[in-house]
Amino acid sequence: MSSATAASKKGDEKHLYTVVVLGASGDLAKKKTFPALFGLYKNKYLDQNTHIIGYARTKMDRSTFEEHVSMNIKLKTDEDKAAHKKFLKLCSYQSGQYDQDSDFKRLEDAIREVEKASGATARLFYMALPPSVFISVAKGLKKNNYTEDSLVRLIVEKPFGMDLDSSRELAKDLGSLFSEDEIYRIDHYLGKEMVKNLMILRFANVIFGSVWNRHTIDNVQITFKEKLGTEGRGGYFDEFGIIRDVMQNHMLQILTLVAMEPPVSLGAEDVRDEKVKVLRFIPPIVKDDILLGQYGKSEDGKEPGYLDDKTVPKDSKTPTYAAATLFIENERWSGVPFVMKCGKALDQQKTEIRIQFKDVAGHLFTTLSRNEIVIRVQPDEAVYVKMMNKEPGLGTKTIISDLDLSYSSRFSDSVIPEAYESLILDVLNGDHSNFVRDDELDAAWKIFTPILKQIDNGEIDPIPYAHSSRGPKGVTEFVAKYGYTRERQEYVWPQHSEAGSAAGKDQK
Ligand code: BG6
């Protein structure tokens, strides 16, 4: 039986896993992987007998490892503290090289030992690794830690290559070792609550579903803003830039879910078929449809500029901000610009989707603002619909208002899970729907590779902007060029909550 068939057969049953975190001493493992595993353990989504083995090159004693695992775990209650104590007992660490069979063999001994104790029948390898060691680790695992007797699942993290060619190369190498069934390419935005809500908003509401097309929608904006610069990650970032870091993956995934046709079912392949289809309708981005920026010092001089980072070359032209417009050449979307904007070192942290409708036809009212549906991914999850209303009182003056579904007030008792918790749980359950398929990745790279080549060749200069500002000059004009029309009256969102202070304003 091929390993792929074995895996899918075994996937039908419930399994007890041994989790191996490769790159366990790194930032990602510390910030995301271990806290997510703990979250699942604490809430009993992870079998209470699941062992977790950390593996990395760094030598660490037990207490340093425990500190590393725990650094980003928040313990609010006594129950949390008790669970954390038990969780640590299930975690162990082993240092080893990423290209030595003898080290992977020692890892195998450790896995077998915990499997004997726990009775685990499945292995989850979490690759929280830099791209340079990716394939050598995959080879080491396949040769030394892969067994036909147990179910094997492999989580891989971006970057999945630098462009179409390198991504294909990586896919080929990885594909020769593990089957597509065994591979889970993580894009953690697919685990975010509001991103997961997109299909429900669209396909479970007649009032939204019926207007979701070029006849009523004028333009769509997807925005990702971060306050932090690239502090501490300059070296990595300089090789990639903001388009490869955020736009080609996180933002494009959001766009795909906003734009795809309804899938035949909620099954992973049906969903991913539709995602691939919509990506294939998008021609590569052209130079006229892109604007780049790079941050300098803040206006008060307190925050450093991108080039002040010692790990960044002094003459780097790597963009830390990008706005790009995509068009989807299909029946539903032809002519509707999808504007994606993303940047680091900006005035606020925010990810949102803003769908702006066309102007109302006719002449009954003046100073009408356009309807918008805004889906705020983070922070302060919300969906609000901007609409015109009669100003209460005598007369018939129109006023802009909203239907506001702010999660903090509507779902105040609900806990929103961390994206990584939700995605790791999907892997344990063998659900691929929120993971990137190989052909999806290929289609995504086709859209970006030509423009990335031009950027890498230094053909497009980034416009400087100050750290903590709204971004490079020209962004407002860029967005207006694609039809985005600002309100014709004063509007603030949200109206009544504390979040209605400056940070919560409906700032585009
Ligand atoms: C990562 C990028 O994939 O996503 C980072 O590499 C970025 O540069 C991060 O900061 C954003 O994730 P989140 O969940 O904090 O919005």
* 246 CA from centroid of ligand 1 (Å): 7
**Amino acid (1-letter code) at residue 183:** I
Q: What is the pLDDT of residues 287-342, one digit of tens each?
A: 999 999 999 999 999 999 999 999 999 999 999 999 999 999 999 999 999 999 99
Pick the CATH number of 3-157 from 3.40.50.1010, 3.40.50.720, 3.40.35.10, 3.40.50.300: 3.40.50.720
The domain segmentation of the chain, as residue ranges, is 3-157, 191-356+418-429+437-486
From the candidates 15, 68, 250, 467, which is the catalytic residue?
250
What is the rounded average pLDDT of the residues 439-450? 97
**Amino acid (1-letter code) at residue 408:** S
- Residue 496's pLDDT band, with cuts at 50, 70 and 90, is low
CA distances to 31, 37, 70, 83, 499 from 73, in Å: 8, 10, 5, 11, 26
First vs last Cα of the chain: how many Å apart? 55
Beta bridge partners of 56: 95
Question: What pLDDT does 5 receive?
Answer: 40
The yes-or-no verdict on residue 506 having pLDDT over 80 is: no
Q: Any idea which residue has 């980072």 for tokens?
A: 309
| φ/ψ (deg, to 5) at 403 | -105, 120
What is the rounded average pLDDT of the residues 113-138? 94
Question: What pLDDT does 90 receive?
Answer: 97
Question: What pLDDT does 236 receive?
Answer: 85
Q: Check if 250 is active-site.
A: yes
Ligand 1 mutation target, pool 28, 31, 223, 226, most atoms within 8 A of CB: 226
Ligand 1 lined by 226 (C-beta under 6 Å): yes
- Residue 501's pLDDT band, with cuts at 50, 70 and 90, is very low
CA distances to 300, 410, 465 from 295, in Å: 14, 38, 5
What is the rounded average pLDDT of the residues 110-121? 95
Secondary-structure class of domain 191-356+418-429+437-486 per CATH: alpha beta
∠ at Cα 486 (500, 382), nearest 5°? 40
Q: What is the pLDDT of residues 180-192, one digit of tens each?
A: 999 999 999 999 9
Q: How many Å separate Cα 318 from the centre of its chain?
A: 21
Ligand 1 mutation target, pool 192, 246, 318, 377, most atoms within 8 A of CB: 246
Q: Extract the tokens encoding 447.
A: 């859209």
* 190 CA from centroid of ligand 1 (Å): 12
